Amino acid sequence: MAVASATVNRRSSNELRSTTSALYLANRAGILIDAWFGSKDFGEQLAQLGVSVGADLSEHAVGTNGSGTALATDQPVMVMGPEHYVDRFRAAVCYGAPIRVDHQTIGALTLVSPFEETNPLLLSLVVRMADEISNSIEDQSEIIGVDHDAPPRSPIVDLPPTGSFDQLMGLSPRWRTAVSQARRAAMRSDPVLVTGEPGSGRLSLLQAISSLVNEEQFMVLDCASIPGVGLPAWLEALRSARSAPLSTVVIRHIDLLDARSTAAIVDLITTDRPAATSRLAATCNPIDRAVRRSIGPLLERVGNIEIGVPSLRERATDISTIALGVIERESLDITITPQALDAMAKAEWPGNIRQLKSTLRALGFEAGGRAIGVDDLPADLHPVHGDSRLTALERLERDAILASLRRHHHNKTEAAANLGIARSTLYRKMRAYQIDDGDGIAATGPTKPTPSPGLRPTSWS
């Protein structure tokens, strides 16, 4: 679950940087398994209160709180100040939402901020993020063959080496450099390391290499599956995969490895010499200094050839080509206006190509054959004027308003009810954020939005 949520939470943690806020991911038992902080100081203050990775925030352990109550009720919740059962949490407000996969709740996402900064609109944001995490988990499950309710099985996923370089769309310089490096790598037997953000096309590039040299198998072992199947079983699967001739074995997400697993994999690669050796490859997120230190010995074995795949926002000139190619390849019954394509080219796309494909499929389902304009795009793809003047939390609030208005077809009464605010408050915030009200009345401004009211208990210091 932590792997699947990485894209959503990396984007949100970037947006929350320098704010007094924190994001927590809890498993179904209420144990915190990951966290992101707007500021280091706020994270340290929460840790002093017992809110840190590994803490048990189930209702059974600490009573009402964002994570535990969302899991107990299986509903989005906002727990404000004195509504917390534990006294030490009462200076905070928590917005929690369950994460569901295949109609089962597998965890919860919670945003925490000081009580004096209470803003009901943030609950809508957290719900949307939890939904995106759920979709990301389901998308990944389709790719790597995960069944969340099935007993542990072989971590090897055998994918067809059906990709080709002709299917890798785009002409931007950084992308063409990556493709050119991959073509040269195909002519050698050295291990290949492909780095890049999730959804950017790392596996597609490796499949193209495998297909070019007519390999018969393309096998993927995800390091995220080690806790589920156990390290010995995972290593045995790697040993078995490496003995297959005319094949590529990909070790996926090596940046997730701990020191023990890294050492064990390095030992296997170094000492085990199967009669028929497959091509070895690996993928990981962009490598920072800390990751390079922690998995350095493995990088020395799999990084003989290192290829960096650019994110979609770093190849914005390719977005129109990719979008139109996806529409044609998947026979989607939609057309996209030039204005919408321009807006898509300017968007951030934190989920990269995977997010672009999911967006186009959803638009194809909703549009029913009509042309897609800017107003049909998801809220986070809309161009918004005056964005540079907004704080990170204000941008999140604006995006939540845009998403609710679109969901309710600009019915202000329904959108306000969905957001948990008065209709008059919604109008004030729409004017402040220069959001067209859908009735042809242009917003005036720009003006700074009015802070949401809230009590002021003990401040964070």
Quick one: which of 3, 33, 37 has its CA closest to 23? 37
pLDDT in tens, 90-116: 889 999 999 988 778 889 999 999 988
Tokens of 77: 């919740």
What is the per-residue pLDDT for 1?
56
Quick one: which of 266, 303, 310 has its CA closest to 286? 310
2-144 placed in CATH 3.30.450.40:
yes
> How many C-beta atoms surround the C-beta of residue 117 within 10 A?
18
**Confidence label for 442 from pLDDT (cuts 50, 70 and 90):** very low
Instruction: Say which range, 17-31, 139-153, 211-225, has the weakest mean pLDDT.
Output: 139-153
Instruction: Say which range, 13-27, 392-406, 427-441, has the weakest mean pLDDT.
Output: 427-441
**Confidence label for 385 from pLDDT (cuts 50, 70 and 90):** low
CATH fold for the domain made of 156-308: Rossmann fold (3.40.50)
pLDDT in tens, 201-218: 999 999 999 988 887 889
| Contact between residue 379 and residue 406 where contact means Cβ atoms under 8 Å apart | yes
313-365 placed in CATH 3.10.110.10:
no
Pairing state between β 22-27 and 32-37: antiparallel
pLDDT in tens, 287-319: 878 788 889 999 999 988 999 999 998 999 999
Reduced to 3 states (helix: H, G, I; strand: E, B; else coil), residue 27 is: strand
Quick one: which of 33, 104, 47 has its CA closest to 71? 104
CATH architecture observed for domain 377-439 = Orthogonal Bundle (1.10)
Instruction: Please tell me the distance from the alpha carbon of residue 335 to that of residue 332, in angstroms, as a whole number.
Output: 9
| Contact between residue 190 and residue 259 where contact means Cβ atoms under 8 Å apart | no
pLDDT of 152 strictly over 60:
no
Instruction: Please tell me the distance from the alpha carbon of residue 220 to that of residue 213, in angstroms, as a whole number.
Output: 18
pLDDT of 382 strictly over 70:
no
> How many C-beta atoms surround the C-beta of residue 181 within 10 A?
18
Quick one: which of 112, 118, 92 has its CA closest to 459? 92
The percent of residues above 90 in pLDDT, for the chain, comes to 28
pLDDT of 392 strictly over 80:
no
Number of helices (H) and strands (E), helices first, in the chain?
18, 13
Quick one: which of 151, 160, 168, 22 has its CA closest to 89? 22
Quick one: which of 142, 168, 167, 135 has its CA closest to 157? 142
What is the per-residue pLDDT for 461?
40
What is the per-residue pLDDT for 10?
56
403 or 31: which leads in pLDDT:
31
pLDDT of 141 strictly over 60:
no
pLDDT in tens, 169-213: 899 999 999 999 999 999 998 999 999 988 899 999 999 999 888
Instruction: Please tell me the distance from the alpha carbon of residue 167 to that of residue 126, in angstroms, as a whole number.
Output: 36
403 or 341: which leads in pLDDT:
341
| Contact between residue 429 and residue 400 where contact means Cβ atoms under 8 Å apart | no
**Confidence label for 399 from pLDDT (cuts 50, 70 and 90):** confident
Q: How far is CA 394 from CA 79, 371, 378, 433, in A?
A: 21, 31, 18, 9
Most confident of 46-50, 116-120, 221-225, 449-453: 46-50
Average pLDDT over residues 223-250: 87
Q: Where are the domains of the chain?
A: 2-144, 156-308, 313-365, 377-439
Which residue has tokens 């790597």?
144
| Contact between residue 420 and residue 121 where contact means Cβ atoms under 8 Å apart | yes
Q: pTM here?
A: 0.59
- 377-384, long-range: CB < 8 A, 24+ apart: 377/340, 377/343, 377/344, 378/403, 378/406, 379/403, 379/405, 379/406, 380/347, 380/348, 381/343, 381/344, 381/347, 382/343, 383/343, 383/346, 384/433, 384/434, 384/435
